[in-house]
Structure 1
Amino acid sequence: MRVRMYTPKDRERVREICCDTGLLGDPIDPFMPDRKLWADASSKYYTDKEPESLFILEDRNKIIGYLFGCLDSRKEMAYRIWLGPRILLAVLSNLLRARHIKEIRRLLKWTLTKYKIEMPGFPISYAHLHIALIRNKRARGWGTKLMKTYFDYLRKNNVEGVFAQVFKHGNNLSYRFFKSLGMEDFEERDNTLWKDFKHGDVKLVTVVKKF
C-alpha cells in the first residue's frame, strides 16, 4: 500500500470511486443515477484544476482511495460559479429526455428550499479536503496515512488551516475518524438530503484543524 500523487491516467478510476462512495460511503446510484453528472459536480475541480493537491491511495497497483485537496477554498468556490451553469444544463437535458426525473426533482427541491439552512459554515480562507476509500479497505489505518500525507503537504505550503465536512449518523465511523486526527467541530446542522436513504437523524458537521 502506498500514497502517491495523482496523474491524469487515474481520472476514470477516481471518478468511479467518487460515485461508488457518494451516498455517505455507499454507491450514489439510488440518489443520482447519472454518474457522469455526479462525478463532474463532485470531482472535476480537483482532477482538472488542482491535481497537484490530489493524493492517491494504491494497493498492489490498484487505486483504492483518494484525497481531494484544495489549498485555498475560495478558488474552488469560484470554479463552482463557472461549473454550476454547465451542471444545470446537464440536469435540464436529463429532464427533457425524461431521465431521472424523480431524483432530479428531489435534489432541486432540497437545493432551493433547504441548502442555505442545512449547510454548515466553514472558514473560507482555509484549505479543505474530501477523502474516500472503497468499502473493503476502510478502518485499516490507510485513510490515516492519506490524511497525514495531506497535512504534511499543507504545512509545506504554509496554509492557515484545513476543514472537511462530514456526515454524522448512526454507527458511521467517518466523524470519529476526523476527530481522531485532531480536527475540531466548527459548525453542525441537521441535514435532510439523505432522509429517503438513511434511517435516523443525519447531521452535517464542519470540522477544522489549524496549523
Structure 2
Amino acid sequence: MTNEEVLDEFRAARALLEGHFILSSGLRSSRYLQCARVLMDPARAERLATALAAKIPASIRDLVEVVVSPAMGGVIIGHEMGRALRRPAMFVERPTGTFELRRGFSLEPGTKVLLVEDVVTTGLSSREAIAAVERAGGKVVGAAALVDRSNGTADLGVEFTPLIRLDVPTYAPEALPPELQALPAVKPGSRAA
C-alpha cells in the first residue's frame, strides 16, 4: 500500500482532520488522523493491518508470538494485526495510571511480543506499554503503528515499522503559530494531555 493509498483510506473514512488539535502528548497540530474512525470499517481495518504486517521485516515478523497494544487507541489495530499475523492479540490498559496486563491476559517469561499502536507522536505511550510488557515477563522484539507522526524521531528502543510517516509539524502550547492561535483547540484523542 502506498502512502497515498493509506491517506485515501483516511480520507474515505473522513478521518483526516484539519484544525487545531491537542495531541495525547500535549503538543499541538494542525492535522489529526482519527484512527478510530478509519478502523471502524472492518474491511478497511483489515486492509490497513495486512499492509502493515507485510511491511514488518521478516526477521521480526517470524519471531512474534503475541501482539500487544495499548488501550484505547491501539486495541482495534492490535486485534487486526493479530489476525494478519495469525497470533494472539491482547492489550495493556491504565486502571491506575500505569499500563498493565489485565482481564486474564498474561505472558509466559520470554514471550516475543510485537507492540502495535495506532499513532506514534513522541513514543511515550509506546515506551510505557513496552515497559508493561517487560514487567509482565514478555520481550518486545519490534513495534509497529499505522502512523508515525514523529517525523522519524521517536525512539522506542526496538525496531519501529509504521505503515505511513506523516510529517506534520507539532508545537508546544506556548509556541503556537498565529494560524493555530486563531483556532479553538480540540482534544480528539483518548488520553488527557
> With CA pairs under 8 Å and 6+ residues apart, which has the higher RCO, 1 or 2?
2
More strand, by proportion: 2
More helix, by proportion: 1
Determine if the TM-score, normalized by the shorter chain, exceeds 0.5.
no
**TM-score scaled to structure 2, two decimals?**
0.29
